Amino acid sequence: MNVEKLKLSEPAIEFLKSQGFTKLYPPQADSVKSGLLDGKSILVSAPTASGKTLIAMLAMLSFLSNNKGKVIYLSPLRALAAEKFTEFKKLEKVALGNKAKVAISTGDFENIEKNLEKSNVLILTNEKMDSIIRHGAEWVDEIGLVISDEVHLIGDESRGPTLEMTLTQLKLLETKPQIVGLSATITNSDEIADWLECKLVKNDWRPVPLSEGVCDEGQVTMTDGKTFEVGRSLMGTPIDLAVQSVSEGGQSLVFAETRTRSKSLATKAADTVSKLLEKKEIAALEKTSKKLLSENEHTDLVKALATLVKKGVGFHHAGLNQKCRETIEQEFRKGTIKLLSSTPTLAAGVNLPARRVVISSVNRYNAKVGGNRPISILEYKQLCGRAGRPQYDDHGESIIVGNGNAEDLTDYYIHGEPEAIESKITDDKSLRTHILSVIVTHPGIKKEEILEFFLQTLGGLQSRKPTVKFAIDISLRFLSSKSLIIKKGERYAATEFGKKTSVLYIDPLSATYFRDSIENVSEERKHTFGFLHMITNCEEFFPKFSLRQKDYETASLMIENNSSQLLEPISEYDCSRSLLALQSWITESTELSLSDSLGIESGDMHRMAENANWLSYCLREISKHVERADLLEELGDLRNRVIYGIREELLDLVRVKGIGRVRARILFKHGIKNLDDLRKIPANKLAEIDKIGSTIADNIKAELRKVR
């Protein structure tokens, strides 16, 4: 199907051609035939890299040409949302009937930005959209097109219920928006399509053909009948397979089951890959290595990464901070990094294809069971979907490393059907959270109406009515007993505390834990360490790291030193390593010392600080609600200390934009301890201080004038 023949305006077609699109891939053509450009709702079930983003783009171009109203693009991950924002921002240059104004919002559940109201193409995470609905934003009624990426994640235990809830709310809007669901190939896609009231477009076509296989004892057997040997070395089979592909001019992506293994596999490959590099690649990688060292603290992890990058290999996992991960992704995309070893988080995130994908083990650590479990077929299909680089390769290969069980692996994973998507909405945590939000947004709702609503979720479709009713009864009893909702006659309404909990986007269990703890806090002293313990102890906090044997002494000492700040007596057995890390962070421990002493890497520390920032905000809002005004200043200070990683004495200085934890401490050491001191010092003297300089000094002075 030629792009020129599409039922789109001339400017839209010219735009598509300018982006290099001339013909549609089969899944794209099928979507158009199914009414994509006529406002019909469709669910596209197709493999990774089969062009689902263009399907979204076509729906947007058609909608904006013919309708007023808002387009919502839902993404499961922030990184993915940012990638799509860059792509869809280009639509602003196209002369459409309803000019595109693109905005993104992926975090911060405490408020709804004004720019969302003024924009008509919104890139949001599923959680942000759910939060917007809870806040009762009036413009939700203007939504005319909803594009939901990675719909199969409805089956995910932690994030699935929010996506399911959001889609249920959106499909029930009076405006009946067009829904375009984009999904990996799933077994029960017809059931998901029925639930979403969409026409199913199922197509297994890929731009780069994929062959899958298993390697056992050096022998690789592919599904297309091809067999070949892989040279065996001390590096081990996963790396032997990956290096073989690199030596033939491809790139390799190796999936490892743990962070430690991803680093160790990359290390094993380094010397061999370095011999395959050209001179100009070595020079480029040398620069990247220096960049990694200049932009980050020299933890063992960063130093190891910088050393490996020079040799054309890298590793990628959640312990690395955002800057490191982005640098590695960029270099792999450019082709200078030839071999990347990663935990599976990469498969769910950004688009990084390689000629050969090697799955070093089908086992994965599962925190719930406290041990390794085999991955699902759906997850396997997601991993192998990364094989084959459009524009570079004429085929992609995905190879599982076996262990004398090649036949079983082939039967189960390669020939197996991905698991059916099962709703998790009726789990206790999901139900109490989402029932509360339904009662908040529909005051005066009856129990039958609550049941009616949940029967319209995927979970309602997949469960028996009495089962859903029983689960709802349990949640309603819990919410009533904790004074989050009240019942008048037949009707339910949220209490002020229930409304606050729902808008804060927090589990009712955590909210009641916060409320009950705050009500018993004494007035006459500080409670910072106690608040941190409460935050790291609640259901919502992540990542949670348990203490290692060598951490108990540190925990015991920390409790002793901060005993006056505790809300209740605790022992080291009530602590997590996350609590120790946050306490160290707000007393200005460096990333290097956190890595060395607690084994907490920069990426983990960043996520903990981000999560603790949100939870300390919730704690402060609940303190307002229970009229503990005496706690507000300390909780506000705690939040800023968590954001910046600083001691209390630097709080005044970081109010100035451009002054973070490092500059604030340097200024403090030079006797500039507050904003008055900063105002008094001349710009030329300020510029002489280490890490300042004349440009930053001028900026600080300009920003200082804005601070009251």
Alpha-carbon dihedral 138, 141, 142, 148, rounded to 10 degrees: 110
Mean pLDDT for 120-129 is 95
With CA atoms as reference, report the closest residue to 644 among 668, 670, 609, 618: 609
Residue 110's pLDDT band, with cuts at 50, 70 and 90, is low
Question: Is residue 564 scored above 90 in pLDDT?
Answer: yes
**pLDDT at residue 524 in the model:** 77
**pLDDT at residue 108 in the model:** 65
**pLDDT at residue 348 in the model:** 63
**pLDDT at residue 350 in the model:** 64
Q: What would the two tokens of residue 479 be?
A: 């919410």
**pLDDT at residue 111 in the model:** 62
C-alpha–C-alpha distance, residues 58 and 39, integer Å: 11
146-175 pLDDT, tens digit per residue, is: 999 999 999 998 889 999 999 999 999 999
C-alpha–C-alpha distance, residues 247 and 256, integer Å: 21
In the sheet that 313-316 helps form, which strands lie side by side, from edge to edge? 227-229, 219-222, 210-216, 396-401, 356-359, 252-255, 339-342, 313-316
Q: Are 385 and 205 in contact (CB under 8 A)?
A: no
Question: Is residue 704 scored above 80 in pLDDT?
Answer: yes
Count CA atoms closer than 13 A to 617's CA, side-chain side: 17
Which of the residue ranges 129-138, 599-608, 614-623 would you say has the lowest mean pLDDT? 129-138
C-alpha–C-alpha distance, residues 269 and 311, integer Å: 9
Question: Is residue 113 scored above 80 in pLDDT?
Answer: no
Residue 246's pLDDT band, with cuts at 50, 70 and 90, is very high
Mean pLDDT for 605-633 is 95
Question: Is residue 194 scored above 90 in pLDDT?
Answer: yes
Which of the residue ranges 14-28, 62-76, 691-705 would you say has the lowest mean pLDDT? 691-705
265-295 pLDDT, tens digit per residue, is: 999 999 999 999 999 999 999 999 999 999 9
What is this structure's pTM? 0.91
Residue 586's pLDDT band, with cuts at 50, 70 and 90, is very high
C-alpha–C-alpha distance, residues 374 and 364, integer Å: 6
Question: Is residue 367 scored above 70 in pLDDT?
Answer: no
Write b or e for each residue in 254-288: b if 16 or more Cβ atoms lie within 10 A of its Cβ, otherwise e. Answer: bbbbebebbbbbbbbbbebbbebbeeebeebbeeb
Domains of the chain (ranges; CATH) run 3-202 (3.40.50.300), 210-414 (3.40.50.300), 428-494 (1.10.10.10), 508-645 (1.10.3380.20), 653-704 (1.10.150.20)
Question: Is residue 43 scored above 70 in pLDDT?
Answer: yes
Whether the bond between 543 and the residue before it is cis, its omega within 30 degrees of 0, is yes
Q: Which letter does DSSP use for residue 494 in this model?
A: E
Q: Are 310 and 291 in contact (CB under 8 A)?
A: no
Question: Is residue 112 scored above 70 in pLDDT?
Answer: no
Quick one: which H or E segment has residue 140? none
Q: Are 163 and 76 in contact (CB under 8 A)?
A: yes
**pLDDT at residue 519 in the model:** 87
Q: What would the two tokens of residue 370 be?
A: 């406290």
Mean pLDDT for 119-127 is 95
Mean pLDDT for 85-98 is 92
Mean pLDDT for 568-584 is 95
Q: Are 653 and 660 in contact (CB under 8 A)?
A: no
CA 526 to chain centre: 34
Q: What would the two tokens of residue 161 be?
A: 């219920």
With CA atoms as reference, report the closest residue to 305 among 297, 315, 295: 315
**pLDDT at residue 391 in the model:** 81
Quick one: which H or E segment has residue 486? strand 485-488
What average pLDDT does the structure give for the chain?
93
410-433 pLDDT, tens digit per residue, is: 999 999 999 999 999 999 999 999
Mean pLDDT for 131-147 is 93
